[in-house]
Amino acid sequence: MNGFHRRIVVKIGSSSLTSPDGSLRKDRIEFFAAELIALARTGADLLLVTSGAVAAGFARLGFTKRPKATHEKQASAAVGQALLMQAYNEAFGAHGAVVAQVLLTRSDFSNRKRVHNASSTLEELLKRGVIPVVNENDTVSVDELKFGDNDTLSALVGNLVKARQLLIFTDMDGLYTDDPRKNAEARRIDRVTVIDDDLFLMAGGSGSTVGTGGMRSKLEAARIAIRGGVQVFIGRAAEPGDVVRAATGVGWGTYFDASLHTLSVKKQWVGFHSVPQGRIGIDEGARRALMEGGKSLLPAGITSVEGEFHPGDVIEVANGAGKLIGRGVVNYASWQLRAAAGLSTEEVQRRIDVQRIEVIHRDEWIDL
């Protein structure tokens, strides 16, 4: 084979797999299975991140529309996950391919040992020619830690397996300057080099009543993936050959260039996998030193401390306006930092017994 010889994560949303009434469309699963097999034959190693468990299951439980209560969604996922995997087994099996179910939660990524175990499992499956089918474990996930229609999950998986590409397929053919369903003059953005606040303002809500993730969650996923060096495509696959087209740079959608300076595995964990245990505010001088000067964060620049945390925990950092600007590994307990906030380095050394004077060392900091 003279194909890509690269690892690709493919994410398929609920809107691409289900009917408007929420029922699972086996013809769509068969379509994507054939498309992914065609992509695999070019030499790519594939991982599939899928949504659709809740959408596939709620009708079987007698709901007339997607439920909103957590326990109802979890029950729907428990039924729907089995239906979803049965459909994938049959669809890929028709092409002689073997698939494996991998269910993950946000906490699996926040714990370093568990994320290592997940990585080892995925690597073994890929080595044996199996296509991992990854989904969120909706039956045990809690709302405040959910991934958002698996968009973020696909980005984290892409970074975890060091993928070359993340292809996110949805019912929209890319990112537009405005909602093309409402504004005929809206134009598609073919390529993005920087994901900034203006880009998020362009992104609207979810385009489907079946899925939970809109373009904003897909932009967030792209932001995470490109920081890890993974190229991203967001768009539509409706006809045979569209998935291969997307992988070769001529798909119906928007392409996001990966950052020139990719993050280390540790900084990826700090920025995107960990669960912050607290939040601090800093003044403008500290922000400039940290984000523009490449310096570590010192106690003198701390203006507020929220939460209870310990040395080695990950905390969020906000600027003077309260906007989140980054995360880092803290060297102080929360009670120590409250006592040290605003003090000079010399004063902190006289008053408080800490191993390192930096609140967050530059090497353990990531801008967001």
CA distance 274 to 115: 11
Strand ranges of the sheet holding 302-307, from the earlier edge strand across to the other edge = 302-307, 278-282, 314-318, 324-330, 360-367
Kindly state whether residues 299 and 190 are assigned to the same domain: no
CB atoms within 10 A of CB 19: 12
Query: Do 149 and 14 touch, CB atoms closer than 8 A?
Result: yes
Reported as type and span, the H/E element at residue 8 is strand 7-12
Q: Which of 266, 288, 313 is the last residue of a domain?
A: 266
Kindly state whether residues 111 and 194 are assigned to the same domain: yes
Burial class of residue 221 in the structure, from the number of CB atoms within 10 Å of its CB (0-12 exposed, 13-18 middle, 19+ buried): buried
Q: Which of 241, 266, 291 is the last residue of a domain?
A: 266
CA distance 275 to 136: 17
Range of the domain at 329: 276-367
Q: Which of 266, 294, 324 is the last residue of a domain?
A: 266
Kindly state whether residues 30 and 169 are assigned to the same domain: yes
pLDDT tens-digit series, residues 62-98: 998 888 888 898 898 899 999 999 999 999 999 999 9
pLDDT bin (cut points 50, 70, 90) of residue 327 is very high
Kindly state whether residues 105 and 130 are assigned to the same domain: yes
Its pTM stands at 0.83
Kindly state whether residues 255 and 285 are assigned to the same domain: no
Q: What is the DSSP code string of 101-144? A: EEEE-HHHHHSHHHHHHHHHHHHHHHHTT-EEEEEE-TTT--GG
pLDDT tens-digit series, residues 121-143: 999 999 999 999 999 886 666 55
CA distance 310 to 313: 6
Query: Do 281 and 318 touch, CB atoms closer than 8 A?
Result: yes
DSSP state of 42: T
Q: Specify the 3-state DSSP secondary structure of 135.
A: strand
CA distance 191 to 166: 15
Kindly state whether residues 189 and 50 are assigned to the same domain: yes
pLDDT at res. 13? 85
